[in-house]
Amino acid sequence: MDALKEVAAIRKVIKGRCRTLSVSNGRGTAWGWVQIRGSGQYGEFTEAENATLKALGLPAGGNYAVISPDARPFVLRRLTGEGEGRRCLACGAQATGTFFCPCDLEHFTCDAHRGITDCARVGREA
């Protein structure tokens, strides 16, 4: 799926949960980043918008949230339910992130193991 289709699909899911959120593709050097803004003053998130983003697993600042181009496919799979059942490489918990390893495979991680970048180091002390 190309970037614009992924952004459109993410937008559809998020807007389906909270119509007041602004979800768009970045411009210029931010092209390909999904940009999310609230409906409050200066784009701040309302309590309902913040709760929606939290329920969707999307971290938000005061008035801005983004999804990077690298994370976009994973976030889309998670938002559409395709990411369900993915387990953390290190502990087996529900995965919340992903990384591409030097072994050329995509691995999944939980929040506690987000810093892992190489499957060969799993279980070893740094």
Please provide the size of the chain in residues: 126
Please give the Cα distance from 117 to 105 (Å, whole number).
Answer: 11
Cβ-based neighbour number of residue 91 at 10 Å: 12
**Domain spans of the chain?**
3-79, 85-126
What is the pLDDT, as a whole number, of residue 125?
47
pLDDT tens per residue, range 16-29: 999 999 999 999 99
pLDDT tens per residue, range 56-110: 888 888 888 999 998 898 888 888 776 556 778 888 887 888 887 787 777 888 8
Q: Phi first, then psi: what are they for 37, rounded to 5°?
A: -130, 155
Please give the Cα distance from 116 to 37 (Å, whole number).
Answer: 30
pTM beyond 0.85, yes or no: no
Looking at the DSSP bridge assignments, the partners of residue 24 are 35
